[in-house]
């Protein structure tokens, strides 16, 4: 994945944001929405695109776009930086190939320690009961 090319392919749109800002918020478009066209991207190889299609299927629109937005701060520039960082992080996280988990068995010592502690607890709790009168 080429990050510089990817950032140049992002499409930005500024929209009016809710939240803090008073009357200022009614006049400025400080919320930033970024969309990334996965299919038309030159920054990703075909295998990377396929991996993202599988992992991010719930986040991809019917047109093949991934859309994120940020309106956390009152500054459009800061929101733009935050949303770029999130998009790059999302793509990098979902491009990683996870190692398959190897099934392991607990060692004999671990099994014995567990059974020993279970017996000790059972003995401790049985001693708390009142004695049976016959």
Provide the percentage of residues in the chain whose pLDDT is more than 70. 96
CATH code, domain with 39: 3.30.160.20
Distance of CA 20 to the CA centre of its chain: 26
Q: What is the pLDDT of residue 19?
A: 66
113 pLDDT higher than 80: yes
In a domain, 23, yes or no: yes
- Maximum alpha-carbon separation in the chain: 87
Q: What is the pLDDT of residue 100?
A: 93
Residue ranges of E strands in 16-110:
31-37, 65-70
In a domain, 46, yes or no: yes
In a domain, 111, yes or no: no
In a domain, 50, yes or no: yes
Q: Tell me how many domains the chain contains.
A: 1
In a domain, 108, yes or no: no
Domain of 19?
Answer: 3-95
Describe the strand order of the beta sheet including 11-15 as a list of residue ranges.
11-15, 31-37, 65-70
Backbone phi and psi for residue 102, each to the nearest 5 degrees, phi listed first: -90, 125
Cα distances (Å, whole numbers) of residue 125 to 29, 55, 69, 101, 128: 66, 49, 56, 38, 5
Higher per-residue confidence, 1 vs 130: 130
């Amino acid at each position: 994945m080429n990050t510089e090319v990817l950032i140049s392919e992002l499409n930005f749109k500024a929209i009016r944001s809710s939240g803090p800002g008073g009357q200022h918020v009614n006049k400025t478009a400080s919320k930033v929405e970024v969309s990334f066209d996965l299919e038309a991207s030159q920054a990703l190889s075909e295998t990377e695109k396929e991996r993202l299609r599988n992992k991010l299927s719930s986040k991809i629109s019917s047109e093949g776009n991934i859309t994120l937005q940020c309106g956390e701060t009152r500054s459009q520039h800061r929101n733009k930086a935050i949303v770029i960082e999130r998009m790059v992080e999302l793509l990098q996280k979902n491009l990683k190939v996870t190692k398959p988990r190897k099934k392991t068995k607990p060692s004999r010592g671990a099994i014995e320690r567990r059974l020993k502690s279970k017996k000790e607890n059972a003995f401790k709790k049985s001693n708390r009961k009142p004695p049976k009168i016959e």
